[in-house]
Amino acid sequence: QGGATVSITVVGASGDLAKKKIFPALFALFYEDCLPEHFTVFGYARSKMSDEELRNMISLTLTCRIDQRENCSDKMEKFLKRCFYHSGQYNSEEGFSELDRKLKEKESGKVPNRLFYLSIPPNLFVDVVRSASRTASSQDGWTRFIVEKPFGRDSESSGELTRSLKKYLAEEQIFRIDHYLGKELVENLSVLRFSNLVFEPLWSRNYIRNVQLIFSEDFGTEGRGGYFDNYGIIRDIMQNHLLQILALFAMETPVSLDAEDIRNEKVKVLRSMRKLRLEDVVVGQYKGHAKGGKTYPAYVDDPTVPAGSLTPTFAAAALFIDNARWDGVPFLMKAGKALHTRRAEIRVQFRRVPGNLYRRRSSGTELDKAANELVLRVQPDEAIYLKINNKVPGLGMRLDSSELNLLYSERYRGEIPDAYERLLLDAIEGERRLFIRSDELDAAWAIFTPVLRELEGRRVAPELYPYGSRGPVGAHYLAANYNVRWGDIS
Ligand code: BG6
């Protein structure tokens, strides 16, 4: 960085995301010596707080990668010394010009590079950007803004937000985060596909029968109902996290690994997708449930959720890509809260071997158990495994569905960095590959907006499922319409 400095301002410093993810990720980067030599971290929020109070607040959530690693407390102390706080309103130019003054002081004449992380509700984005970009516009260094979903509720409101931000910022200054893109296994998706001869040629309708993108959490909205009820699971998980994975999975080979080349291919595949139809969606909502002497609340029992809410906490959907590679292949998505387990995975079900010798014996009994299935388990316990048919050792001829299993915890030492670490580092380094470009966002909304409108316009009642269950049975019928079984259930 030479004579340059980087200031990272976390706007909304006392919020949950900042405390749980952003400050710890910044510290982890510092710990690994990934931050530039000259950096400062500022917290900005409305509440009054001293630098010391901010440091105390942050220090409660910082952890070193592996417990009791050497230098941990020493490093923490050094990091906290670089953290400061400024209190101000989000729509106040005065607040941001005072911040600017403090930033300049810390920058002490070096080329100032500034990163603002807007960890605040989106209705405040434009106010902050207007105030903060004004002071920064006259500088030599770069100024970048990280924003995180929700980016609107549909095509129109998202387009509106983009246009408002672009009044003050160039597209290159906007870093739209989708934290799933920072997850190790999601990054690995392209490596797996493009650098392994055994997979790349199979990546099409010729060999793949269906693809499943599954997200489940074993807890409900618990206090986040106020936010969640406005959006629902389709906007919270499917339109962004799962669709981003789908785009990476299904895109054509990019010209290079450059951000623009990759994002061009993602946009192309998103634009080839059919708009989701109402008959290809199942929605659900969790209801209260008593199990093992414990009672679990219904979604509508959450005090922050309006009574009688129809907001889905579960959805399953069948999506299609109308291009030569994927014509007719169902991409099934399933996302839900308050289910029996916490898991995110990508499952690729291959076709059966044509004329398979082991499919049937003369007696008519089937020998092979199943078609091949490739699973990328994004979390927990990151793993990649491939289900194959294998002969059970012995004198007879019996086949078994077995697994070639790459379990990360066995194969690789060390902890896997949190998604926010990678994304923050990329934003500092100006690497845009894992951030969402505005045309990608438009294409993503175009797929979901019509069905969201129909669901909400017709007030479609979600199918109730018990807290802690596997979700509504409707999801099975949806898959069955396409002759598919969910791989996480069978
Ligand atoms: C967020 C959603 O984007 O992702 C939350 O708003 C969800 O509802 C969270 O709980 C899940 O993230 P992760 O990384 O814990 O799987």
The answer on pLDDT for 149 being more than 70 is yes
Residue 349, classed as helix, strand or coil, is: strand
Q: Could you tell me the distance, in angstroms and rounded to a whole number, from the CA of residue 106 to the centre of ligand 1?
A: 35
244 closest CA partner among 4, 410, 440, 431: 440
For the CA of 148, the closest atom of ligand 1 is 3
**Residue range 246-284, pLDDT digits in tens:** 999 999 999 999 999 999 999 999 999 999 999 999 999
151 closest CA partner among 419, 437, 418, 430: 437
Distance in angstroms (rounded) separating the CA atoms of residues 154 and 357: 51
pLDDT of residue 467: 96
Report, as an integer, the average pLDDT of 312-332: 98
Average pLDDT over all residues of the chain? 93
**Residue range 62-91, pLDDT digits in tens:** 877 665 566 788 899 999 999 999 999 998
Most confident of 222-236, 320-334, 400-414: 320-334
**Residue range 215-248, pLDDT digits in tens:** 999 999 988 888 999 999 999 999 999 999 999 9
Regarding the beta carbon of 236 and ligand 1, being less than 6 Å apart is answered yes
β-bridge pairing 111-118 and 143-148:
parallel
Q: Could you tell me the distance, in angstroms and rounded to a whole number, from the CA of residue 218 to the centre of ligand 1?
A: 12
Distance in angstroms (rounded) separating the CA atoms of residues 241 and 134: 32
212 closest CA partner among 350, 380, 404: 350
The answer on pLDDT for 302 being more than 80 is yes
- The residue from 38, 86, 179, 241 that is catalytic is 241
The H-assigned helical ranges of 254-322 are: 259-271
By most ligand atoms within 8 Å of CB, the mutation choice from 213, 215, 224, 236 for ligand 1 is 236
pLDDT of residue 1: 45
CA distances to 171, 327, 400 from 80, in Å: 32, 54, 56
Collect all residues with Cβ–Cβ distance below 8 Å to 235 and sequence separation of at least 6. 150, 153, 448, 452
This prediction has a pTM of: 0.95
Nearest residue (CA) to ligand 1, atom 13: 180
Percentage of residues in the chain having pLDDT higher than 70: 95
Distance in angstroms (rounded) separating the CA atoms of residues 471 and 299: 13
Report, as an integer, the average pLDDT of 144-172: 96
Instruction: Tell me which amino acid residue 94 is.
Output: E
**Residue range 24-40, pLDDT digits in tens:** 999 999 999 999 999 99
Q: Could you tell me the distance, in angstroms and rounded to a whole number, from the CA of residue 308 to the centre of ligand 1?
A: 24
pLDDT of residue 229: 96
DSSP code per residue over 394-410: SSS--EEEEEEEEEHHH
Distance in angstroms (rounded) separating the CA atoms of residues 48 and 290: 43
For the CA of 215, the closest atom of ligand 1 is 16
Active site residue 241: yes
pLDDT of residue 365: 55
For the CA of 221, the closest atom of ligand 1 is 8
Report, as an integer, the average pLDDT of 119-135: 90
pLDDT of residue 415: 83
Q: Decide which of 312 and 358 is more confident.
A: 312
Nearest residue (CA) to ligand 1, atom 15: 217
pLDDT of residue 410: 93
Residue 353, classed as helix, strand or coil, is: coil
**Residue range 185-212, pLDDT digits in tens:** 999 999 999 999 999 999 999 999 999 9
Radius of gyration of the chain (CA): 24
pLDDT of residue 137: 56
**Residue range 437-463, pLDDT digits in tens:** 999 999 999 999 999 999 999 999 999
The answer on pLDDT for 468 being more than 70 is yes
User: For residue 383, what pLDDT band results from cuts at 50, 70 and 90?
Assistant: very high
pLDDT of residue 76: 92
Q: Could you tell me the distance, in angstroms and rounded to a whole number, from the CA of residue 460 to the centre of ligand 1?
A: 25
By most ligand atoms within 8 Å of CB, the mutation choice from 119, 153, 179 for ligand 1 is 179
> Bridge partners of 334?
214, 316
pLDDT of residue 72: 83
User: For residue 490, what pLDDT band results from cuts at 50, 70 and 90?
Assistant: low
pLDDT of residue 259: 97
Q: Could you tell me the distance, in angstroms and rounded to a whole number, from the CA of residue 417 to the centre of ligand 1?
A: 16
Report, as an integer, the average pLDDT of 314-320: 98
pLDDT of residue 224: 86
CA distances to 309, 335, 337 from 285, in Å: 9, 11, 9
Distance in angstroms (rounded) separating the CA atoms of residues 205 and 372: 14
**Cα pseudo-dihedral 477, 481, 487, 489, rounded to 10:** 20
For the CA of 342, the closest atom of ligand 1 is 16
Distance in angstroms (rounded) separating the CA atoms of residues 60 and 433: 32
Cis peptide before 306 (omega within 30 of 0): no
